[in-house]
Structure 1
Amino acid sequence: MASHSDTLVTVFGGSGFLGRHIVSALARHDYRIRVAVRRPDLAGHLQPLGRVGQIHAVQANLRYPESLAAAARGAGVVINLVGILAETGKQTFDAVQGQGAGAVAQAAAAVGARMVHVSAIGADANSSSRYATAKAAGERAVLAAVPSAVIMRPSVVFGPEDQFTNRFAALARLLPALPLVGGGVNKLQPVYVGDVAQAVAAAVNGRAKPGAIYELGGPEVLTMREVIEIILQVIHRRRRLLSLPFGLAKAQAMLLQFAPGMLQLTPDQVELLKVDNVVSDAAKDAGLTLQGLGITPDSLEAVAPSYLWRFRKTGEFSNGAGSERNSS
């Protein structure tokens, strides 16, 4: 593997779920990595992912352009991963995923850095979801500032620290039934976090088409119902799946948007569930996919048992005998 030790990569938002896997992938390619986050003191877990001195964290805030400029200074490549799933205070979708993405791109442009921006499948200026419209606005702002930027749009990302499969597994441990918003017929293409990290690393390595938008999905298109059934199978539990009409789900979300942790559901998230979240035929035809980057994606069924075992009643080495998988 060629050494890239002379290249500095600044990763905005690199301390989160996806960020730590991207930082690890870049470290294996021998890049020097600067992780730009609001709280550098909480990014210490990234240090063991590379050799001594290879990874360091700096403070940056999307609302302060001077901090973005300082974080981008000297970088050959800038990666933007900053995003939120729900709005809180000043952390609005537009501020973070729209204007914020543009501000990072402007900092990259000012130092002549290449850029990789992670957005999401479903980014759409005409969407009824504010999350989706902000993602689309962010893409436009990034390409306006850095026309050669590579945009990565993953479907729902799963992996050991995700807020997706772990959330449903935790709910299944607590509740006798799980709700399916809209009947759970919306389609997803869950993609493994390690595969997304490989795709970003490939773009940093110059293997992606400049200015292109890649759509990243796993090997299977599944309905939400099928996803939850896989999770239940992996954790050896049987639970009733209750269809929740969109109208009722949105009414409940008006209250649950203030709930803590895994119980939270926002009206905007309900809007997102009305639309399929899968790789488009256009992206497949153009080779703007994981496969187009030479990456063979891992399936949810293959990977989930490696980390969801902790939600089984009898632990990691259970074969399911006598577990709740066989209960009524």
Structure 2
Amino acid sequence: MSAAVKSLHVAVLMGGWSSEREVSLTSGEGVAKALEALGHRVTRIDMDRDVALRLHETKPDIVFNALHGTPGEDGTVQGMLDLMGLKYTHSGLATSVIAIDKQLTKQALVPHGVRMPGGFVVASESLYADDPLPRPFVLKPVNEGSSVGVAIVTDEGNYGRPIARDAKGPWQEFDELLAEPFIRGRELTVAVLRDKPLAVTELKPKSGFYDYDAKYTDGLTTHICPAQIPADVAAAAMELAALAHRLLGCKGTSRSDFRWDDEKGVEGLYLLEVNTQPGMTPLSLVPEQARHVGLSYERLVEHILEDALEGGEAAR
């Protein structure tokens, strides 16, 4: 354990009821074991509707937020913890509200020179009448992470033209979707830890695209870290990830996902989204990039904890 951090009682929030529950449970268990290895006392809390009461009874020194998706990543849990006067890891309320919403993220970042895909929010019902954009285009929920509910609509796809009501897709689950032009090319991601970018990883799904299953099923995606890309593109991705982290006010760690059109050089680099609660599972990208720069999983967890302790509520 770092001399700067004494032994603490840490409540690890995990699970919950979002579509990313299982991933959160895996992240939370990994974090809990790392904290215990560092000498901290850990209480594991699988979040339910009585979470405030359980935290009140537990009386932790700090909460390690290992939740993914809503309500752990959208500001809801952050607001509860603020009201309870509890310190917690990762981003605060305002940052979480903005970063979970892809349209709000664009409004916060694009004016500062961060290139992001165009697009707009459409009613799912309208998709059955006409395509919102020329094909190929992407449809995704406005406020879900881990590529949950993402669909790429192409001329060759089997969704129909226009999309058929009985075609399986996110339009059956969400009333509104974000429609964006599809950007050809490659998937890149950059983790930022305490304002410093770690590395660039290229993600190569063995089939289809980098969706939820590809992210969390062993063997479905090849991670190339560091990405074998031109130095100027790697530098630009790391700079943009750090800039987005700072502009949004992220704390602890974040992960920025990019599409890179490799026929256009740096001009083909587009930020897709910023994840304020990136995964901490054995397949997750932040621990992988931390290892690349010489940080063990335990030291990564300790960095996140230290950042939360140094910031406190006043920095949120």
TM-score by length of 2: 0.34
The structure showing larger relative contact order (alpha-carbon pairs under 8 Å, at least 6 residues apart) is 2
Judging by fraction of residues, say which structure has more helix: 1
Relative to the length of structure 1, the TM-score reads 0.33
- Could you say which structure has the higher strand fraction? 2
